[in-house]
Structure 1
């Protein structure tokens, strides 16, 4: 281990997950993850991750095989725990008509046929996904949106798979620890993408990262991974100083060359518009943090009438796909955390290297007034 890493990289998280540095790449769903990104982070000594919540069970097995071929180091595969109120129950015809009518103006503006708004196919079933993932046996399984049932965690332990839960409040972190998971991500409201609150409504669970981390670190005994609004070494150093055992970085890695984000999305993350983000239901039916654009602004007036997740996400897919193909950022879900303005175009390995070096520098830097 180099001098730059020696003072801070060792600890409970690196020991638990067999890492060289306590840096986790945030998992992205919806095609934004990539094997190239996850493997680059793992090969660099961190924990690469892949968001698999939209994959079929067969696809999950194949994914784990691809990751094993790409890296001999530990990696994580992430799944969403379904909310009880988001059960895949098809809406009746009248409700479906109301949901599609709200989207009609944007479809017509892009010249998209309305028959693309017919009821989408059902999403993959979580129980089948997790069984396939357990059978594939990745080194680490991470979860967002809730706590999986006991039989899942029991089987993971039996197979030697480490498990990581995601909390947006102290109570959620306590629930994750009580369930027997190995580590918890303390995900502050600064984070990009979907909010993962599961014990209380999202608007009662918007705790900033640097308020959440020390509270979670005091409340639980398992390793704590800080997430949300961390994009450079100063943020890593601050999280460690506040009691975190490591950090999870999403937007910073989403902005790298290897991510599955489109060139349009990466350009937005590196541009001045990324200084502002918004929580919106417009694209998926579930609150998520993104760079605001025309669609999020115009849909704001209808947010309480939009289809629920995952139906809204499926209904807007043709709109998002067509807009991305035409380079129209005003209709694309530009997921972003609140520190995107600190990113710049880099490869994942170069970015990870900068994080490691800058964290060491920040931790060695004397505080103002020190002599």
Structure 2
């Protein structure tokens, strides 16, 4: 049976299908619960949540499902805050604020990892069964605390070396994120030249160099992608863009429509929105800010500076100034319930298997 492996036994789910923990309000409690109730693993994208917001979301998910779900956290990146750099970035961004009638100019004083620590505390207090990490590996004491509570922990890797580092740190499984994936790159070992290795090349190499389950991510949106990933040695898949357009997704309708009407040639990788490379639909903001690529403040500083622009643009249905994160497999995007999406994925996998054996 295609879904009988170590990963499903580890996660205690029926199918090795994971909904990516997309931050920014996309992973609503309804979405997380719908995926988990259908036999997959729903994930709360908690990257930008406060500890209180995370606690409330977890408790809401618990009222909607008794199945396992996970929380995805952003491993904190504490960077030096350069006020001159911020002033320059704000000058570049002023024209967007003016057009959207945003009167306040954002500022960043300092960056700490305190919220991250509080998020971990909430996860432990709420007995969340699974926690995944993006942007790096948390400190050893965090890993020990989670493992002491028997919480399954999953890391993210964009190279073989990053996968090995995750395994060495004590991760129970690894998401191998190919360059086709939407949203932020999970790279952390080489920040000067962010790796852009495709899923098909990355997954088998990671599988050959680690002994824990590998989860393929990037460009997977149907049964063919799942079977291909399993054939490469992965024990599961993680899908983000596929669930972005689900009925339960918290993504603004204007963003869903942009994705549904886009194709594989419409995405680019940019640092202009957040200071960290991320894949999304090319729009006017990216085009106009391209000249400053590599000069904007590092993540999470730039992310804080553009947050009011992104929020106001979403409120006004102005996709040209929104961060429309999505992967390269856009033509497969559909509007449907998340529950039905999981059912369809399972059916598609079994159809592919039947065709392979019939031939």
- Return the TM-score normalized by structure 1: 0.92
Distance 1:96 1:179 in 2: 35
Deviations 1:96-141 (A, max 9, x none): 321210111222233332x233447867632232223223220100
- Structure 2 residue 274 is the aligned partner of structure 1 residue 277: no
Residue pair 2:90, 2:105 contacting (<8 A) in 1 also: no
1:61 is paired with a residue whose SS is helix
Q: CA deviation at 1:366?
A: 2.6
Look up the match of 2:356: 366
Distance 1:311 1:135, change over 3 A: same
Residue pair 1:190, 1:208 contacting (<8 A) in 2 also: yes
Which residue, 157, 167, 173 being the options, matches 1:183? Answer: 173
2:356 is paired with a residue whose SS is coil
Look up the match of 1:26: 20
Look up the match of 2:82: 91
Distance 2:336 2:245 in 1: 8
Q: Which moved more, 1:149-158 or 1:256-265?
A: 149-158
Which residue, 58, 62, 69 being the options, matches 2:63? Answer: 69
Which residue, 184, 193, 216 being the options, matches 1:226? Answer: 216
Which residue, 300, 303, 328 being the options, matches 1:310? Answer: 300
Distance 1:20 1:64 in 2: 21
5+ long unaligned stretches in structure 2: none
1:366 is paired with a residue whose SS is helix
Look up the match of 2:51: 57
Look up the match of 2:9: 15
Distance 1:323 1:60, change over 3 A: closer
1:343 is paired with a residue whose SS is coil
Look up the match of 2:225: 235
Count of aligned residue pairs for this structure pair: 358
Residue pair 2:262, 2:330 contacting (<8 A) in 1 also: no
Distance 1:313 1:323, change over 3 A: same
Query: Cα RMSD (Å) of the superposition?
Result: 1.8
1:299 is paired with a residue whose SS is helix
5+ long unaligned stretches in structure 1: 1-6
Deviations 1:180-230 (A, max 9, x none): 111111111110000010111263411100100111111111111000000
- Structure 2 residue 286 is the aligned partner of structure 1 residue 296: yes
Q: CA deviation at 1:273?
A: 4.9
1:282 is paired with a residue whose SS is coil
Deviations 1:23-61 (A, max 9, x none): 000001112221100000000000000111222222322
